[in-house]
């Protein structure tokens, strides 16, 4: 059972480039989340989804977009990369629907923008 899989693990981008961070889960979870982790700042929620076709903004959504066309996948897109988006990005999923189950996290994508 793979759990939550994120790709790539590392990436370096130039300012202005775009890229998509991939996230897939095989646990049939309804809810999925994207966080960014900056040093000494904990995790901040970027976007989340409570089911296929439904997405909503979190605490720090500016500069990012998401889609949720299937239950399994929840890609995060950076359209115009900026140095402020240098961070470690974590995807998470949970069963949701008031199941009282915890979130499961992927191993993260370390992104540097130069």
Partner 1 sequence: GNSVTQMEGPVTLSEEAFLTINCTYTATGYPSLFWYVQYPGEGLQLLLKATKADDKGSNKGFEATYRKETTSFHLEKGSVQVSDSAVYFCALRLQGGSEKLVFGKGTKLTVNP
| Binding stretches for partner 1 (CB under 8 A) | 4, 31, 33, 40-45, 48, 50, 56, 58, 90, 92, 94, 96, 98, 100, 102-108
Enumerate the β-bridge partners of residue 54: 51
Contacts 24+ apart (CB under 8 A), 61-68: 64/34, 66/34, 68/32
> Shortest gap between Cβ of 15 and partner 1 (angstroms)?
26
User: Cα(57)–Cα(48) distance, rounded to whole angstroms?
Assistant: 6
Residue 43 contacts residue 107 (beta carbons within 8 Å): no
Dihedral over alpha carbons 100, 49, 91, 27 (to 10 degrees): 60
The residue (of 65 and 110) whose beta carbon lies closer to partner 1 is 110
The residue (of 41 and 114) whose beta carbon lies closer to partner 1 is 41
> Shortest gap between Cβ of 49 and partner 1 (angstroms)?
9
The residue (of 12 and 80) whose beta carbon lies closer to partner 1 is 12
> Shortest gap between Cβ of 66 and partner 1 (angstroms)?
14
The residue (of 62 and 100) whose beta carbon lies closer to partner 1 is 100
């Amino acid at each position: 059972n793979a759990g939550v899989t994120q790709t790539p693990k590392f990436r370096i981008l130039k300012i202005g480039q775009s890229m998509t961070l991939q996230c897939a889960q095989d646990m049939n979870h309804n809810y999925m989340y994207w966080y960014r982790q900056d040093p000494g700042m904990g995790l901040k929620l970027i976007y989340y989804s409570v089911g296929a076709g439904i997405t909503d903004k979190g605490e720090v959504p500016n500069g990012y977009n998401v889609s949720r066309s299937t239950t399994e996948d929840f890609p995060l897109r950076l359209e115009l990369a900026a140095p402020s988006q240098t961070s470690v990005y974590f995807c998470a999923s949970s069963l949701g629907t008031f199941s009282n189950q915890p979130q499961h996290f992927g191993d993260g994508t370390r992104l540097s923008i130069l």
